[in-house]
Amino acid sequence: MDNFAGKVAVITGAGSGFGREFARLGAQLGMRLVLADVQQDALDATFAEVSAGGAQAITRRVDVANGDEVDALARATLDAFGSVHLVFNNAGVGGAGGLVWENTERDWQWLLGVNLWGVIHGVRAFTPLMLEAARRDAGYRAHIVNTASMAGLLNPPMMGPYNVSKHAVVSLTESLYQDLSLVTRQVACSVLCPYFVPTGIANAHRNRPSELANETPPTLSQRVSRALSEKAVNSGKVSAQQVAAMVFDAIREERFYVFSHPHALGAVKTRAEDIVTPRNPTDPFAERPHVREQIVDALKG
């Protein structure tokens, strides 16, 4: 797909981070936008900005962990614009880190609900609409972008639920790619694997549903994990705006893997070598032993 003007893009997590940048860039390219987010004020801010620039847009407050709400989003898209060409299954949350055995059932439900089930619902709700459009029009082209993470290709310590959710998104999107190749050449997909990019995801707990809140305070390891995560994310030098441009380039080129920090692929290669050698997992702090020492000391309180 290389002509975006007039095309319809659905963006979850549109209130901040990558989602807001996808909306901004889509608006600049003349796209019609369907903006979804669970945080109403942030969603309204994105809508106001793109609308002021002349973009046609609608908004829906959506909890992507709820399949019925994503189905309703798909119906609203067709009601408003009659078609869909791009779907960014982008909504995601961080947090719930710490030593993996200390994560509660509610931690897992929250992380997997948004990060994994949100993508599953998006694929399930929108792919059939795209395939039907492709059957009606030989010139129709569409693309699905699922936001994963470099944590979908690696397993950093004290990030268990997040790692699991993002590995599943990578697997889901690779499966989607293979399945689409059996039935169409008109609908493509990509998986976005960003590294540390300042997006606000480290503060995603602000939107955690009250029914999934923990009844006990965070453990020491969870407090350490949150501090490390916030520091790493906020220190990122690649911006969400730059990543959005990378994603649109990948859509134009029908390129599947999108990496914000290609240099991090060295660690992915090491992990693959661990598997095929086989050998035990390589220490992620092998080249920075002082970091491991700091974490170990912090976990001792």
- Output the pTM of the full model: 0.96
Q: Are 45 and 18 in contact (CB under 8 A)?
A: no
pLDDT at 236 exceeding the cut of 90: no
Average pLDDT over residues 130-134: 98
Residue with the two structure tokens 């994603």: 247
Q: What is the pLDDT of residue 66?
A: 98
Distance CA 140, CA 184 (A): 11
Average pLDDT over residues 169-191: 98
pLDDT at 225 exceeding the cut of 70: yes
Alpha helices by DSSP H, listed for 137-281, are 160-183, 220-234, 240-253, 265-276
pLDDT at 249 exceeding the cut of 80: yes
Distance CA 178, CA 82 (A): 27
Share of the chain above pLDDT 70, in %: 100
Residue with the two structure tokens 């001792």: 300
Average pLDDT score, the chain? 96
pLDDT at 295 exceeding the cut of 70: yes
The answer to which of 75-79, 201-205, 283-287 has the lowest mean pLDDT is: 201-205
User: How is residue 246 annotated by DSSP?
Assistant: H
Residue 292: half-sphere exposure toward Cβ, Cα within 13 Å: 9
Alpha helices by DSSP H, listed for 235-288, are 240-253, 265-276
- Whether 140 sits among the annotated catalytic residues: the reply is no
C-alpha distances (whole Å) from 156 to each of 22, 65, 152, 160, 210 are 27, 25, 10, 8, 28
Q: Which two tokens stand for residue 288?
A: 């920075």
- Under DSSP, is residue 261 helix (H, G, I), strand (E, B) or coil? coil
Out of 162, 177, 195, 257, pick the active-site residue: 162
pLDDT at 235 exceeding the cut of 90: no
pLDDT at 49 exceeding the cut of 90: yes
Q: What is the pLDDT of residue 206?
A: 83
Topology of domain 8-262 in CATH is Rossmann fold (3.40.50)
pLDDT at 201 exceeding the cut of 80: no
The answer to which of 98-102, 236-240, 272-276 has the lowest mean pLDDT is: 236-240
pLDDT at 271 exceeding the cut of 70: yes
What's the pLDDT band for 202 if we cut at 50, 70, 90? low
163-189 as b/e, with b when 16 or more CB fall inside 10 Å?
bbbbbbbbebbeebeeebeeebebbbb
Q: What is the pLDDT of residue 203?
A: 73
Distance CA 65, CA 61 (A): 12
Distance CA 83, CA 98 (A): 43
Q: What is the pLDDT of residue 123?
A: 99
pLDDT at 205 exceeding the cut of 90: no
Q: What is the pLDDT of residue 260?
A: 97
Region of 243 on the Ramachandran plot (φ > 0 left; ψ -120 to 50 alpha; else beta): alpha
What's the pLDDT band for 96 if we cut at 50, 70, 90? confident
Distance CA 35, CA 43 (A): 7
Residue type, 245: A
Q: Are 5 and 29 in contact (CB under 8 A)?
A: yes
Domain coordinates in residue numbering, the chain: 8-262
